[in-house]
A and B are shown apart, each in its own frame.
Chain A
Amino acid sequence: MLEYTEKIRETARKLLQDGKVDVFIGYKKGSIGMMNEPVLIRDPDKADLLYWDSNCGLNLCNYLTKRTDRIGIVANGCNSRSIVTHITENQIKRDQLYIVGIPCTGMIDRRAVTDAVKDKDILEFHEQGGNFTVTGKDFEQTFEKKAFLQSNCITCTHRNPVESDEMIADPVEEQEGEKAYTDVEEIEAMTPSEKWDFFTDMISSCIRCYACRNACPLCYCPTCFVDESSPQWVGKSIDPTDTMTFHLLRAYHCAGRCTECGACERACPMDIPVRQLTKKLNKDVLSLFSWEAGLSLDQRPPLDVYRPDDYNDFIR
C-alpha cells in the first residue's frame, strides 16, 4: 500500500500547490495499531501526513456535507458511491470536488484480527501484496488479507470508484457478488416471532451512542428524529422499544441510499451487526427497482422519483 500512499501524497501536494483545491481530505496513520484517522490538509507541506492502507474504513463522504470550498478527496468504490449520492441529494456540488480514485481490495476487519491473535495487543500493521502482518510486544503473525475482510467488502461488487477525476492506480478486478444476501435470506426464512427475537437480541447491547448513525454519510439531517424534543418521537432511555425504534427508522431512512461501506458496523463500540437491517432494504430495493445506490450522477434514486407509468396501482 506504500505506492498508494506515495501517490496520494504527491497528488494532494500538487492539487494544493496549484490552487486547484482549497483543502484535501484523506486519512493519516492512526495512533494505535490498525486505525487511521480522517484528516483535512490545507498546507501542501503537510501532504506527507496522508496515508493509505486497509484500515481506512470510515467513510470520508461524511466530511463533505454542505462544505462551500473546493475539496480534494480520496475515494474508493463505496466512498465514491456515497459521494455520488451526496451530489444527487444536493449535499455537495460535483464541481467543488476533485476525486482521487482508489481501486480498493477491501478493508480489514480489525476485530476479526484481534480475535485471531487471541486479544493480544496489536502495535504495528504492515501490508505486503495480499498479506498483512501484525506485530505486538511478543508476537508477529502474518495473515492472508482475503480471509479478514470486513463483511461488506467480502461481497462488494464495486471496488473501483464510479466517479473520479484521477485514478491512483489501474482498476482492480471486480468480484462476483452473487452470495451477497445469504444472511438476509436466512432471516427472511424465519417466522415473524423468530425475526422479532433475532433483532431484539441483536440490538440488546446497544448503548444509544449513535456511532452507527454518525459514521454514516447518509445521516446528515440537521436534526435527527431521535434528537427532536418537541415533539419527542422516541424515548431517550435504553428501553428496548425505543432502541428498536431508533434502529428500524435509521435503517429505513437509508433504503435505496446505502452503499454498503460498512462504516456503521465498524464504528459500533458494542460490535452490533447493524448492517443486518440496512442490507435487507438494499436487497429489496435491488429486487424491486433494480437499483444500487450511487452508481450514476444521471439517475434519481427510486424512492424520490414518481413516474406516471409506475407498475404499482396504489400510486397511479
Chain B
Amino acid sequence: MTEKIFTKEEWINALKGLMDAYRIFVPVRDGELHSFKSLDKGEPDFDYPNTRLSPKSLIYPQSEGMFEYSLDEEGPDANIVKEIPKDYSPQAIVGIRPCDAEAFQIVKRNFDNPEYRDPWWVQHFESTTLVGFGCNAPDSTCFCTEVGGGPFNENGLDVLVYDLGDTYLAKCITDKGEAFLTKAGGMDADDVAKKHAEELATAAAGKITVKVPTDKLKGKVLNELFDAPFWDEIAFACINCGTCTYLCPTCWCFDIQDEVTGNHGDRIRNWDSCMFPLFTLHGSGHNPRDNKVQRVRQRFMHKLKYYVDKYENGVQCSGCGRCVRYCPVNIDIRQVCETMNNYESA
C-alpha cells in the first residue's frame, strides 16, 4: 500500500485542494476544547489529544430528519410521508483518532448486519473516508490497547497518518484511502521515514500502561452479573446526566419524535441516553428502569456483557477515555469493567 510524505504545510494545502472532491472535516480548537468542523469553518489543529465530542455525529447526527409530511388535507401531498433528502456526497474525517475509527466498526455491527440495515447510518458511513492520525502521546485515561485497539491501530481507517515532527507520513489502508491519497499528492515515503513511523507506533503503545481486564466477561453468567451487589455502590455518585453516552463514540441509542409546526410535520431521529428515565418510560406509565441503579447497570451491562455475548467481538468500547475524563462525578468504566470481570457470585 502507498505511503506518502507531506510537509505540514503541504498537507494543509493538499486538504484544501481536496475540498471540491470531499466535504472535509478537521479538528479545530474552540476555546479549551477541540471539535470536528468543516475545513472552511476553522483552522485545523492536528496537534491535539482528542476532540471533546467524538466524530460520531458526522455519520450519525445528534438530530436527523428522517421523514416529512403535510397535514394539509387540501394539498396534493396530504398525509404522505416523504423521506427527507440527505447529503451523501463524499466526506472525509481527517484527524480522527484510531479509537474513534474503531468505534465506527463497533457501531457498524449494530447498524449494518444481516438482520438490520439502518439505511441512513450505512449511507453516511459509506460516503465517508476516515483519515486517522495516530496518537504519539496517549492520555492517561486512554485504554485502547486493552480493548483490541492501539494508538496506531489501522482497523476501521482508510488512511493512517504518522506525525514525524516536521512531516506527516500518510499510509493507505484501503482502496478508499488510496483514492484519497492519490488526489492528495505527496512524495513517496523513504525507508527512513517508514522506520521512524514504526518506532513512533511502538513507543506510543508502550505509553498505555493501564490494565483493564476483559477476558472473563464472556464466561460470566449474565444473570449473576445483573444481580451482583456492587451496582448500588457504582451507581451512588451518578447524577444520571447524558455526558458519558453523548461523548461516547460507541453509544448508538436513539429516539424518534414527530415535530409538527402548523400543517408541516417532521419525523426526527435524536440521540437518546439510557441514563434518562424517559428512555424506557412505557406508554402505560410503567418504567422498567425507574431508578438510577438500574440505568447505570444498563449502560455497563450493555457495553461489557450484552454486546460481548451478542456479537462475540469484544466489548462495546474503544477505550477513548472520554467518559472517564468528563464524567462529572468520576465514575470510571475501567474500574467498573475490572469489578465485573473479576466478580465471582457467592
Contact = CB atoms under 8 A, between A and B. Distances in A.
Nearest to B272: A236
Contacts of B30: 205
B332 A40 contact: no
Nearest to A212: B241
Contacts of B245: 209
A266 interface: yes
Contact of A269 (B63, B233, B243): B243
A266 B328 CA distance: 7
B8 interface: no
A236 B257 contact: yes
A210 interface: yes
A125 to B, nearest CB: 13
A215 B241 contact: yes
Nearest to B65: A237
A114 B329 CA distance: 18
B259 interface: yes
Interface in A94-130: 111, 114-115, 119, 121, 123
Residues of A in contact with B, size category? 35 or more
B257 A211 contact: no
Contacts, number: 108
A11 B204 CA distance: 46
A89 interface: no
B329 to A, nearest CB: 6
Nearest to A25: B236
A31 B241 CA distance: 19
Most buried by A among B241, B278, B331: B241
B246 A32 contact: no
Interface in B301-346: 324-326, 328-332, 334-335
Contact of A32 (B35, B239, B243, B324): B324
B261 to A, nearest CB: 10
A62 interface: yes
A209 B273 contact: yes
B255 A211 contact: no
B281 interface: yes
B40 interface: no
Residue of B30, B35, B259, B281 contacting most chain A CB atoms (<10 Å): B259
Determine which residue in A30, A111, A119, A211 has the highest number of CB atoms from chain B within 10 A of its CB, and name it. Answer: A211
Contacts of B281: 229
Contacts of A115: 32
Given A32-B324, A237-B270, A238-B63, A227 B257 contact: no
19 contacts: A31-B332, A32-B141, A37-B330, A38-B329, A58-B237, A205-B30, A211-B243, A215-B239, A215-B241, A227-B276, A227-B277, A229-B278, A236-B257, A238-B63, A239-B63, A263-B328, A267-B241, A269-B247, A269-B328
B219 interface: no
A27 to B, nearest CB: 9
A259 to B, nearest CB: 17
A235 interface: yes
Nearest to B34: A119
The 9 closest A-B pairs by CB, nearest first: A237-B63, A267-B328, A209-B242, A211-B241, A214-B239, A37-B330, A30-B330, A38-B237, A31-B332
A252 interface: no
Given A211-B243, A229-B278, A270-B52, 17 more contacts: A31-B324, A31-B330, A35-B330, A36-B330, A38-B237, A111-B32, A121-B139, A209-B243, A209-B273, A210-B276, A211-B239, A214-B240, A235-B259, A237-B63, A237-B270, A267-B239, A269-B326
Contacts of B240: 214
Interface string A218-248: 0000010001010000011111000000000
Contacts of A214: 239-241
Nearest to B281: A229
A271 interface: yes
A39 B239 contact: no
A115 B331 CA distance: 23
B31 interface: yes
B122 interface: no
Nearest to A55: B330
A193 B284 CA distance: 44
Nearest to A138: B137
Given A31-B334, A37-B329, A207 B324 contact: no
Name, among B239, B240, B242, B268, the residue most crowded by chain A CB atoms within 10 Å (CB to CB): B239
A20 interface: no
Contacts of A121: 139-140
Contacts of A38: 236-237, 329
B133 to A, nearest CB: 16
B329 A271 contact: no
Contacts of B332: 31-32
B268 A237 contact: yes
A228 to B, nearest CB: 9
Interface string B241-253: 1110111000000
A62 B139 contact: no
A271 B257 contact: no
Contacts of A239: 63
B203 interface: no
